[in-house]
Amino acid sequence: PTVEKIKEKGELVMLTNAAFPPFEYVDGSEITGVDVEIAQAIADELGVKLSVTNMDFDPIIDYIKTGKGDLGIAGITANEEREKAVDFSTSYITTTQYMILPTGVDGATFDPNGKIIGVQQGTTGDNYYASDPEVMQPKEVKRYKSAVDAAADMALGRVDCVIIDEMPAKAIVANNPDKMQAYDPGYDKESYSIAMMKGNDSLKQVVDSVLQKLADEGKIEEMIVKHTSN
Ligand code: ARG
């Protein structure tokens, strides 16, 4: 939907998967996090109310492509494959994939080949790493609805390693420090962007200018600190 249509309906619909702290997570009955605050700033700029839809991560790109929401804001890594389906804003975070390992396992010598790897279905941790035989040949890839679920299964000994984005990995580990640790395997950098329907240039302009302003004012850093210390 164009900016005009969004203003007409008085509502900006954000699609996300709120099991990805500090970017989006459920706090009591509220969905909050860095991405939700960014979406709120965009809604404020448009003068409309923000509505947040919590759904599985995997179909978000397709939902945005077919207009079932205005913005996909879910720590989404912009890449060529997804760019075929949606347009992306400028990037607002640069990060990388991490491993969550049980405590006592040495990350530096951990070999994912022949192991059971847990991922969130449809993420880059799934597509670029666990499911790419040129990168690793696990015994099995277990795909979960969230990295939180994958890590919980690792704590039960059903998975050897979880691959997920750096900051969520650290947040999950912080909640279970006696059982798990976060390890940086030195994978490539990835950048998060906001997904929009293709050709929606009026909306992209607003989104990019809000992101620029938030970055210039150091607000994104502040949001990360705020939602990390929670
Ligand atoms: N950055 C990764 C990707 O784009 C993972 C994103 C998962 N986001 C979420 N809200 N669960 O595939």
Nearest CA to ligand 1 atom 3: 123
* pTM for the full predicted model: 0.97
Q: What is the pLDDT of residues 47-82, one digit of tens each?
A: 999 999 999 999 999 999 999 999 999 999 999 999
DSSP string, the chain: --HHHHHHHTEEEEEE-SEETTTEEEETTEEESHHHHHHHHHHHHHT-EEEEEE--STTHHHHHHTTS-SEE-SSPBP-HHHHTTSEE----EEEEEEEEEETTS-GGG---TTSEEEEETTSHIIIIIIT-TTT---SEEEEES-HHHHHHHHHTTS-SEEEEEHHHHHHHHHHSTTTEEEE---PPEEEE--EE-TT-HHHHHHHHHHHHHHHHTTHHHHHHHHHH--
Residue 103 has pLDDT above 90, yes or no: yes
pLDDT of residue 43: 98
Distance 158 CA to ligand 1 centre (A): 22
pLDDT of residue 12: 98
Domain(s) labelled CATH 3.40.190.10 in the chain stretch across 3-92+193-228, 97-188
Distance 147 CA to ligand 1 centre (A): 9
Ligand 1 pocket test: pick from 77, 146, 187, 188 the residue with the most ligand atoms within 8 Å of its Cβ: 77
Q: How confident is the model at residue 186 (pLDDT cuts 50, 70, 90)?
A: very high
Q: Which CATH architecture has domain 97-188?
A: 3-Layer(aba) Sandwich (3.40)
pLDDT of residue 177: 94
Distance 9 CA to ligand 1 centre (A): 28
Q: How confident is the model at residue 1 (pLDDT cuts 50, 70, 90)?
A: confident
pLDDT of residue 229: 72
Distance 19 CA to ligand 1 centre (A): 10
Distance 191 CA to ligand 1 centre (A): 11
Residue 230 has pLDDT above 60, yes or no: no
- Segment 205-214 mean pLDDT: 98
Share of the chain above pLDDT 70, in %: 100
Kindly list the protein residues whose Cβ atom lies closer than 6 A to any atom of ligand 1: 16-17, 19-20, 24, 57, 74-77, 120, 123-124, 165, 190
pLDDT of residue 214: 98
Question: Tokens in use for 129?
Answer: 């790493």
Q: What fold characterizes domain 3-92+193-228?
A: D-Maltodextrin-Binding Protein; domain 2 (3.40.190)
